[in-house]
Chains A and B, each alone.
Chain A
């Protein structure tokens, strides 16, 4: 399934401590109805040409809900108009901070087939919130109220918790808090990603991330029946113990020909992060079809990376099939080249060797 990351707006009402969208020169632009309509025409064109394909349309930003329910109504209308034969193969998903979510969004999100939303949360004060002061009380209050609305209408939700330097002093407490908020553990513990300078002193090293996960893992392992869906733990169990292949975009080594990021002006890029960082630009949806964008020549360097790393940075690594060198953008952030593994590979390997394998008693052996 191809994923179209629709950055329908770069506006955001939060000034999260670690956010790249805030930090980079941000135009605050929103996608015009004309570009939005083009996106749906392109989706239809692609799906008609590929009857076996599906498209995941991920609403992203900025904060997409700032666009208001009418904007989503317009999207639904464009889909109806242009994708009559293909709309059953379009799956919408939404990444939102939930702070402007209200009852008015419920009908249109339902109409778009959205049954669950992805969000982000941080219980630490002054990490997420509006204004210079990063008013986390305002943010978190609104967030919790929105959860009430989501749950009332039967929407599922999952969240990302970004591990920063501020998280390191109390991993177990933060973990317990998150499992109390999302009782089945539907959350990801992601390291903070810094492209260039760590202006706000939040960056963590791979070792610190390893130790953060390592402090939590015994608790998760003991009680994983209560909150099974905690990443990256669940995914490691699936891949290492249950013998299933279940990897996210950063680890699958398969993002090359699957992702398109569409910016508000219709400019496309590999993914949200490459767009934020001005890398892997593939032209405008007004001028190019999704077929052309998905096979842009620049993508070959990502495929080349997957083929070359096992003879390079990743030579002899028994965890290759678990991470494929990690996210190419992470590698670029550190080395200004895609042909390296991500620094987070060390965190993963460290975590598996130091914590996962000894605690679970299962040693990872790659399948031949």
Chain B
């Protein structure tokens, strides 16, 4: 089994305790990026990613040369003014960065398409409220079938590579929300299976060393609990055609056949169509 990547807040003392580990370090200010990278180096941390959660539009941030080489997951509130994006584009395209844009932001879906078409990797931030599934569907179609070259849009790119029609496919890894791969560490060094568990104070291990031996079983148990939770209900996500890729992730927003159910069903249909088109080698009658 591959060693898990720990997701933790930036605290120097914590980094010292996690020395030698591979981490996703969460911060909320882009100005901290150079300092965090420096501290990580100091403590022999392998940085899987810096998860930067700003509440600002992309164009209000100053993209910096110092970000070069840093793996970045940058969450912004919206795209902002297009001409500002263009001004920073040359540098942005040279960075190892994926930009997470909320679907609910003004022109959120358009923003993701614009960035992607400019060659910048993006991800849909579905948010906690009820996403606009029609917009998500449009993005899906663009991500998979848009003819113009564009950078990957997550979680669709992940699903294109990972979706297995005979299995459940969990795309939570795109959001560092997959227990077996991305356990979360709090500032005391206690370990939770994910962001939600951490917020609720549900820890499965009191220390990193303990987590190493307990993680696999705890992650498996969580999977089982999910199945028990949904399959014991007389209605809901277990009865939905989108289950095998949604896995109840959007149960709290469920709005039936016209919402998440239709969207996730479309996700599977689209990926299967995409793969089938990719495999079809039709040669034009006149080469």
Contact = CB atoms under 8 A, between A and B. Distances in A.
Whether A and B are associated in the same complex: the answer reads yes
Contact of A152 (B167, B220, B243): B220
B231 interface: yes
Interface in B211-246: 220, 224, 227-228, 231-232, 234, 238-241, 243-244
B167 to A, nearest CB: 6
A225 interface: yes
B165 A145 contact: no
Contacts of A140: 231-232
A183 B228 contact: no
B280 interface: no
Given A123-B234, A125-B234, A145 B224 contact: yes
Nearest to A143: B231
B252 interface: no
Interface stretch (A81-89, A172-180, A210-218, A305-313): A172-180
Contact of B239 (A137, A176, A183): A176
Interface residues of B, number: 19
Most buried by B among A174, A177, A181, A184: A177
A281 B232 CA distance: 41
A197 interface: no
A174 B234 CA distance: 10
Contacts of B232: 137, 140-141, 144
Contact of A148 (B165, B224, B238): B224
Interface in A15-42: none
Nearest to A185: B166
B250 to A, nearest CB: 15
A288 interface: no
B134 interface: no
B165 A226 contact: yes
Interface in B258-285: 268, 272
Contacts of A125: 234
B168 interface: yes
Contacts of A177: 231, 238-239
Given A140-B231, A152-B220, A180-B244, A225 B165 contact: yes
A306 B220 CA distance: 51
Contacts of B234: 123-125
Contacts of A148: 220, 224, 227
A123 B231 contact: yes
A300 B220 CA distance: 54
Given A148-B224, A180-B244, A226 B231 contact: no
A124 B240 CA distance: 16
A141 B165 contact: no
Interface in B122-161: none
23 contacts: A123-B231, A123-B234, A123-B238, A140-B232, A141-B232, A144-B231, A145-B224, A147-B227, A148-B220, A148-B224, A148-B227, A173-B239, A176-B240, A180-B238, A180-B239, A180-B244, A181-B231, A183-B244, A184-B166, A225-B165, A226-B165, A226-B244, A226-B268
Interface of A: 123-125, 137, 140-141, 144-145, 147-148, 152, 173-174, 176-177, 180-181, 183-184, 225-227
Interface of B: 165-168, 220, 224, 227-228, 231-232, 234, 238-241, 243-244, 268, 272
Given A144-B228, A174-B239, A225-B272, 18 more contacts: A123-B238, A140-B231, A141-B228, A144-B224, A144-B227, A144-B232, A148-B224, A173-B239, A177-B239, A180-B231, A180-B238, A180-B244, A183-B166, A225-B165, A226-B165, A226-B244, A226-B268, A227-B166
